[in-house]
Amino acid sequence: MPDPNGFLRYDRRLPARRPVPVRISDWREVYPPAGEELIREQATRCMDCGIPFCHDGCPLGNRIPDWNDLVRTGNWDAAVESLHATNNFPEFTGRLCPAPCEAACVLGLGGQQPVTIKQVEVEIADAAVARDGLRPRPAPTPTGRSVAVVGSGPAGLAAAQQLARAGHTVTVYERDDAIGGLLRYGIPDFKLEKQHIDKRLAQLTAEGVRFRTGVHVGVDVTAEQMRAEHDAVLLACGALQGRDTPETPGRELRGVHQAMSHLVAANRVVAAAGDGRPALAALPDGTPIDAAGKHVVIIGGGDTAADCLGVAHRQGAAGVHQLDLYPQPPTERDAARDPWPTWPWLLRNYPAHEEGGERVFAVAVQEFVDDGTGQVRAVRIAEVTVEKVDGRRIVTPLPGSEREIPADLVLLAIGFEGTEEQPLLAQFGVTRNGRGAVDARGDWQAADGVFVAGDMHRGASLIVWAIAEGRAAAAAIHTYLGGVGELPAPVDPARQPLAAR
Ligand SMILES: Cc1cc2nc3c(=O)[nH]c(=O)nc-3n(C[C@H](O)[C@H](O)[C@H](O)COP(=O)(O)OP(=O)(O)OC[C@H]3O[C@@H](n4cnc5c(N)ncnc54)[C@H](O)[C@@H]3O)c2cc1C
Ligand code: SF4
């Protein structure tokens, strides 16, 4: 029986982040472990409210009140079991999820702070590693059926684990030189140290999943070959087509780059250092891309922009501005606009924002300014208003509001336009829809025997959705292959986040 008064006795508390001067001098994670005493206290705040809306807030349907109570009573082994029953990789979501479950916590209804669900989750995930090192659970009997998974992000990996545990032979194909998708070279180590991916990969390997890196499906191996070798194919290629701004004057200048170019280069340097190899942050053609000593301007207000901000400070930027088209959001939920338990529009302060830099809201870039040699020296911005007319976004500059911000390095973090146009699509007979995503039928098939999941299906989204879709697509593939019984399917292809309208 959970403690019905826990939330009255304890306030919401998170572990202290590592001090800014210390953490920006390395690439280690920002949060230290919470410690058992704090996390059991925080789990006690869950009142087991009867109708736990956090379940609906979480696309995986994590059994949050169950494992909160198991942590409260110190029953860690059972908490680990309960969490892994719905989530293949809680060490990723516990570190990185924006926690829509917390926005839906019933405590929020009475003006209380929600339970620190995500922090409890990561502590359980880390306890699992500490206790049995992620014990492999290989299937007792092979089915003799074979599945190819294309793309090794969280969607592909979740599907691979589910299918391997059901007895199918699974091969994951990844064009990059390491497994993990955006978790590997997109998301910086200060949010997710790569040891967490490697530990999970050791478990998947022991469960029989085969990994083939450096294989660009559609280029190095054709769809026809894949179909001949495997009984089903899952496409989980992400939504990596970065949005650009070709119409802005000066876009072609040196020093103006896609944010992902900056992040991937920086993450490769950290990975190389971990292997004892020297490396420079550079584009694939060798052009250096490093914020050291530079005035950096980041355009965009989301996860990618915040990650660039943290990287720029660790590289030793002289100064950083982060520009956002929209006005500064409120710091409290606007119940008229986003009633509980939906995800509210709020000012989100990432740990990277504590580390320095200036955020500028309601501005749009008018020009990237040339220093006379083809290198950017500034961005010219104007204050703007933004409105939606017939679903279209209208941005209106305020006359006389223009000014320049010095810039040696400009990073475009203005979103993604869906999955990339690449040979694999036509070869498998699938097409991008108007949002740049690949539609799936109700059984997750995009073409006969070809399934799709994760960002490639949803458009750029979140890790929790990628894992949920990977699990659900695996369940559909298992059925398609005539597997015995059913695998869990937390979402269907049409499922959307909780919304008021
Ligand atoms: C900078 C950044 C920070 C983010 N931070 C967060 C966060 O903090 N929290 C959060 O929840 N979400 C975050 N996200 C979103 C999250 O990373 C994605 O939603 C998630 O990784 C999607 O998983 P996926 O498996 O669908 O695809 P991805 O992780 O994108 O993986 C797709 C993989 O497919 C491979 N691939 C593509 N085509 C082929 C081919 N033809 N052959 C072989 N391989 C191929 C790619 O190389 C890639 O490795 C962030 C995204 C970015 C860009
Ligand atoms: S995965 Fe995300 S939404 Fe689900 S319980 Fe964890 S933090 Fe909450």
Q: Which of 119, 464, 491 to mutate to test the pocket of ligand 2 (most atoms within 8 A of CB)?
A: 464
Map residue 306 onto helix, strand or coil: helix
How many angstroms does the Cα of residue 400 sit away from the middle of ligand 1?
41
Ligand nearest to the CA of 83: 2
- The angle subtended at Cα 210 by Cα 206 and Cα 211, nearest 5°, is 115
263 lines ligand 1 (CB under 6 A): yes
58 lines ligand 2 (CB under 6 A): yes
43-63 per-position pLDDT tens digit: 999 998 888 999 989 999 999
Task: Map 436-462 to HEC letters.
Answer: CCCCCCCCCEEECCEEECCHHHHCCCC
Rounded-to-integer distance, Cα 218 and Cα 148, Å = 13
Ligand nearest to the CA of 467: 1
Give the nearest ligand 2 atom to 97 CA.
2
How many angstroms does the Cα of residue 408 sit away from the middle of ligand 1?
28
* Neighbour tally for 229: CB within 10 Å: 12
Residue closest by Cα to atom 39 of ligand 1: 237
Q: Which of 182, 192, 349 to mutate to test the pocket of ligand 1 (most atoms within 8 A of CB)?
A: 182
* CA-CA-CA-CA dihedral for 85, 89, 93, 95, to nearest 10: 130
Map residue 8 onto helix, strand or coil: helix
Sign, CA dihedral 365-371-372-373, equals negative
Closest C-alpha among 453, 415, 416, 451 to residue 430: 451
User: CB within 8 A of 337, min separation 6: which ones?
Assistant: 344, 345
238 lines ligand 1 (CB under 6 A): yes
188 lines ligand 1 (CB under 6 A): no
Residue closest by Cα to atom 6 of ligand 2: 118
How many angstroms does the Cα of residue 183 sit away from the middle of ligand 1?
7
Map residue 343 onto helix, strand or coil: coil
How many angstroms does the Cα of residue 466 sit away from the middle of ligand 1?
9
How many angstroms does the Cα of residue 188 sit away from the middle of ligand 1?
13
**Residue showing tokens 């572990």:** 15
Residue 419 CA: distances (Å) to CA of 181, 218, 295, 304, 441: 13, 14, 31, 17, 18
Map residue 117 onto helix, strand or coil: helix
60 lines ligand 2 (CB under 6 A): yes
201-246 per-position pLDDT tens digit: 999 999 999 999 999 999 999 999 999 999 999 999 999 999 999 9
Ligand nearest to the CA of 214: 1
| Strand-strand pairing, 232-235 and 210-213 | unpaired
148 lines ligand 2 (CB under 6 A): no
146 lines ligand 1 (CB under 6 A): no
Rounded-to-integer distance, Cα 84 and Cα 137, Å = 12
Closest C-alpha among 365, 460, 463, 364 to residue 417: 460
Peptide bond just before 341 cis, omega within 30 deg: yes
User: CB within 8 A of 374, min separation 6: which ones?
Assistant: 253, 254
Residue closest by Cα to atom 41 of ligand 1: 217
Conformational region of residue 317, where left means phi above 0, alpha means psi within -120 to 50, and beta covers everything else: beta
463 lines ligand 2 (CB under 6 A): no
| Strand-strand pairing, 376-389 and 403-406 | antiparallel
User: CB within 8 A of 205, min separation 6: which ones?
Assistant: 211
Residue closest by Cα to atom 13 of ligand 1: 462
Give pLDDT tens digits along the chain (501 positions): 678 889 999 999 999 999 999 999 999 999 998 999 999 999 999 998 888 999 989 999 999 999 999 999 999 999 999 999 999 999 999 999 999 999 999 999 888 999 999 999 999 999 999 988 799 999 999 999 999 999 999 999 999 999 999 999 999 999 999 999 999 999 999 999 999 999 999 999 999 999 999 999 999 999 999 999 999 999 999 999 999 999 999 999 999 999 999 999 999 999 999 888 988 999 999 999 999 999 999 999 999 999 999 999 999 999 999 999 999 999 999 999 999 999 999 999 999 999 999 999 999 999 999 999 999 999 999 999 999 998 899 999 999 999 999 999 999 999 999 999 999 999 999 999 999 999 999 999 999 999 999 999 999 999 999 999 999 999 999 999 999 999 999 999 999 998 765
